[in-house]
Amino acid sequence: LQLVESGGGLVQAGASLRLPCTASGRTISPYAMGWFRQADGKRREFVAALRTVGGDTYYGDSVKGRFTISGDNAKNTLYLQMNSLKPEDTAVYYCAELTWVGPPRDPVYSYWGKGTLVTVSS
């Protein structure tokens, strides 16, 4: 499986970006796909996930109401629409397969791409 993220870049606070993640190779996880991010010197942070069956979505507290996850099965592509970006959103964003999302446990990632850098200036 290959997961290739794109769409990152440098934007000003308040701007929007859409990150696509294209999957190729074997069939993607039958459970969920999602995004996490990691800023310099900080721990990995869950951003969003989309259940493959049923379409339930999950969001990290810091992005709720601003980010939207969606998927296009025909294109094997996962998207992360990011609106009202803040400097604290600056991080490398990774597209990932998940084997668990939702309470009571932390998300469990089984595979991820190389990431795309998003930098938000103030």
SS3 38: strand
Token pair of 119 as six digits:
């930098």
The full DSSP string for 68-83 is: EEEEEGGGTEEEEEE-
Query: Quick one: pLDDT band at residue 29, thresholds 50, 70, 90?
Result: low
Look at residue 75 and tell me whether its pLDDT is greater than 70. yes
User: Which pLDDT does position 28 carry in this prediction?
Assistant: 67
SS3 88: helix
First to last CA, the chain: 37
Look at residue 53 and tell me whether its pLDDT is greater than 90. no
109 - beta bridge partners? Answer: 98
State how far the Cα of 113 lies from the Cα of 7, in Å rounded to an integer: 14
φ, ψ of residue 89 in degrees (nearest 5):
-85, -5
Query: Region 79-108: what's the mean pLDDT?
Result: 94
Bridge pairing between strands 45-51 and 57-59: antiparallel
